[in-house]
Amino acid sequence: MTFQLLRSHHNIPLLFAIRICRAFCINLIWTTWPLFVQSLGASVYEVNLVWALGGVASVLLAIPLSAFSDRFGRKPAMLLSLLFTIAPNFAYTFCKSWEQLIPLKMLANINDNMYNPTEAAMIADISVSSNRGRLYGLVGVAHPIGSIIAPLVGGWILDNYGWNVVFYAIIFSATLATLPTLLLTETLQRREQHTKADPSQPSQGKRFDSRFLCPMLIFTIFNFFEAARMGLSQVTSIYLKERFSATSFQQGLFFSIGTMVPFLLIQFIGGWFADKYDRRKIIIASTLLWPILMWPWPSMDSYNSLLFLQTTITLTRFMVPASQAYLMDFVDETKRGIANGIFNLGQQTGGAVVGPSLFGYVYEEYGRAAPFYVAALLPLPAIPILMLLKDEMRKKHPD
């Protein structure tokens, strides 16, 4: 079945390869980024401030950047996104103070804002509702594959060669990703031609009526609360260093074993769940498990016990393919890029702006355990918000 999915379209194995390279880029420094900002003289709050201010650019540009692929094509958007990985990472090697990182972080965030909605739209272009969840899960597997070893490699490079070589390795991996990107087949052109030939499709003036905007608003608010927990990444490495004296290698190991290995295991399961069962119920169940498992985090008294807990928590995050497929159930092919951008707007606002600022402040004012208690509760308002949506899976996509 997996092999058949890979062969279902020429672009699927290429997207898989691109995602591996991108994941390697991101996670070479994901666990040690807060330590890099601290090395330039930043406090814990200032570390999170850099991340949050970079996230402001993500929020402001989320919709325009996601609409780029609907207007100019999926492939050009993906190629351009790689430029916004290469340029800021090269510039990081010249920074002498943490303040200089702020505009560069804003620039770097354009990468995800352009690539993620475009990739999701392209997968939706080449799938149908009955296999969409599995395709999202299959391509999603590439992320942990590229991420498992990246933090370990990044930590080893950092311990032996310093920060600049880490950034050069990121640049190399992003450059490598351009090859499969160039080989992609454009999917937007085919869809545009279909739309022009189909008189039943809505006109441009009716593209953004309430049937589109209302579900998108609900998705945005839902994603804001659900994604706010992601801001924990900016205090976790500092927490590990201060409480358990974790080395750079241990930081990478915590992320690889605690997050990426279990995430790899649940992508196939999550994709299968998304096509087999009610997608909304899957999302709600996963969200409910988070506070139950997150609450004991500060009470873990050793690095190994915390690593085990983190692994368990990640195994419950089987909602990712369901969330992506559920979103696409509400959207026709002419609005897939911007719909994913609106969806990401909530994620960027919660996960890249509000979450890091909140957790950085709470960490300094109320102690290192407090952010994790706050994070346990943050996603709970997302559940009643999601309940406002009806299941559109079969109604919009009877295939």
Task: Compute the distance between CA of residue 225 and CA of residue 371 in angstroms, rounded to an integer.
Answer: 15
Q: Is the pLDDT of residue 179 over 90?
A: yes
Angle between helices 163-182 and 74-92 (to 10 degrees): 170
Cβ burial, residue 399 (10 Å; 0-12/13-18/19+): exposed
Mean per-residue pLDDT over the chain, rounded: 81
d(C-alpha 347, C-alpha 350), whole Å? 5
Q: What is the pLDDT of residue 92?
A: 95
The larger pLDDT score, comparing residue 93 to residue 227, is at 93
User: pTM above 0.75?
Assistant: no
- For residues 323 and 375, which has the higher predicted lDDT (pLDDT)? 375
If one compares 262 and 207, the residue with the highest pLDDT of the two is 262
Q: Give residue 209's pLDDT.
A: 64
Confidence category of residue 336, pLDDT binned at 50, 70, 90: confident
Residue 308: both structure tokens together: 């085990």
Cα–Cα distance for residue pair 358/186, rounded to 1 Å: 41
How many beta carbons lie within 10 A of that of residue 64, not counting itself? 13
Rounded Cα distance, 132 and 126, in Å: 9
| Domains by residue range for the chain, with CATH | 9-182+209-396 (1.20.1250.20)
Within 10 angstroms of residue 311's Cβ, the number of other Cβ atoms is 17
Condensed to tens digits (0 to 9), the pLDDT of residues 117-163 reads: 888 888 888 877 777 777 887 887 888 888 888 888 888 888 888 99
Q: Could you read off the pLDDT of 188-207 as tens digits, one per residue?
A: 754 444 444 444 444 444 45
Whole-angstrom distance, CA of residue 351 vs CA of residue 344? 10
- 34-43, 176-185, 267-276, 314-323: which has the minimum mean pLDDT? 267-276
pLDDT the model gives residue 399: 41
Among 44-58, 187-201, 222-236, 261-275, the least confident range: 187-201
Q: Given its phi and psi angles, is residue 185 left (phi above 0), alpha (psi -120 to 50 degrees) or beta?
A: beta
236-258 tens-digit pLDDT: 888 998 889 888 778 878 888 88
The two structure tokens encoding residue 163: 């920060």
The pLDDT assigned to 202 comes to: 45
Query: Could you tell me the pLDDT band of residue 360, with boundaries at 50, 70 and 90?
Result: confident
Confidence of residue 208 (pLDDT cuts 50, 70, 90): low
